[in-house]
Amino acid sequence: MRIAALILAAGASTRFGSSKQLARIGDRTMLATVVDLAREAGLQPIVAVVAPGIAVAPDVVPIVNGRPEAGLSRSLGMGIGGMPVEVDGAVILLGDQPTLAPATIRAVMEAERNGRVVVAARADGRLGPPVLLMRDGFGLAQGAIGDEGLRSMLARNPDQVTPVDVTVHAPDVDTPADLPGG
């Protein structure tokens, strides 16, 4: 089975004050850190939805979202629409979660789906990324609206979702103080 990474990294970074995708974590950018997590988890290909002017590594397929202010749902729709035909599913990762454990990604990928088209991490009763969306479920992403991505869709379709219990969801980096080591 071929599972891709879909990294959503086209946010406007309004609370961060600059392009957080380019913020440094050690010797790498935050986006490069998340790309490395996808590689380490064995996801291939790696597709990243980015804002104009954000460069990606040569082995990453870029999809440029020219309207990041339209919210996460626009990036999600563009990314799902740009998935190569040979992939069977995509693990959705957020470009502002550089502390996500590759083991969590693998746990979501390896979960028994029991015929369901979505697998999502669950902590404290709340579903969140990483989320595996199988090709048969790509249409569910079209129900996403605004800046919340799949959250409402997962809540509306619990019979479609296999939860994978994790200790805690990786925190988002919203401000420079949220950066690891910051």
Q: pLDDT of 90-117, one tens digit each?
A: 999 999 999 999 999 999 999 988 889 9
Among all chains, which residue has been given the structure tokens 């919340």? 148
Domain boundaries, position 78: 3-178
- DSSP states along 54-123: ----TTEEEEE-S-GGG-HHHHHHHHHHT--TT-SEEEEEETT-TT--HHHHHHHHHS--TT-SEEEEEE
Q: Quote the DSSP letter at residue 174.
A: -
pLDDT at 152 over 70: yes
Distances in Å between the Cα of 22 and the Cα atoms of 18, 62, 91 are 8, 15, 22
Rounded to an integer, the average pLDDT of 151-180 is 86
Q: Can you give the pLDDT at residue 17? A: 64
Q: Which residue has the higher pLDDT, 68 or 166?
A: 166
pLDDT at 134 over 70: yes
pLDDT over 70 for what percent of the chain? 95
Residues 74, 66: Cα–Cα separation, whole Å? 10
pLDDT at 169 over 80: yes
Residues 58, 156: Cα–Cα separation, whole Å? 38
SS3 48: strand
Q: Can you give the pLDDT at residue 122? A: 93
Average pLDDT for the chain: 89
pLDDT band at 159 (very low <50, low <70, confident <90, very high): confident
| 165 CB-near residues (< 8 Å, 6+ apart) | 122, 123
Q: β-strand 126-134 against 28-29: which pairing, if any?
A: unpaired
pLDDT band at 145 (very low <50, low <70, confident <90, very high): low
Task: State how many domains the chain has.
Answer: 1
pLDDT at 127 over 80: yes
Q: pLDDT of 36-86, one tens digit each?
A: 999 999 999 999 999 999 999 999 999 999 988 887 888 999 999 999 999
pLDDT at 151 over 90: no
pLDDT band at 142 (very low <50, low <70, confident <90, very high): confident
SS3 160: helix
Domain CATH number, residue 65: 3.90.550.10
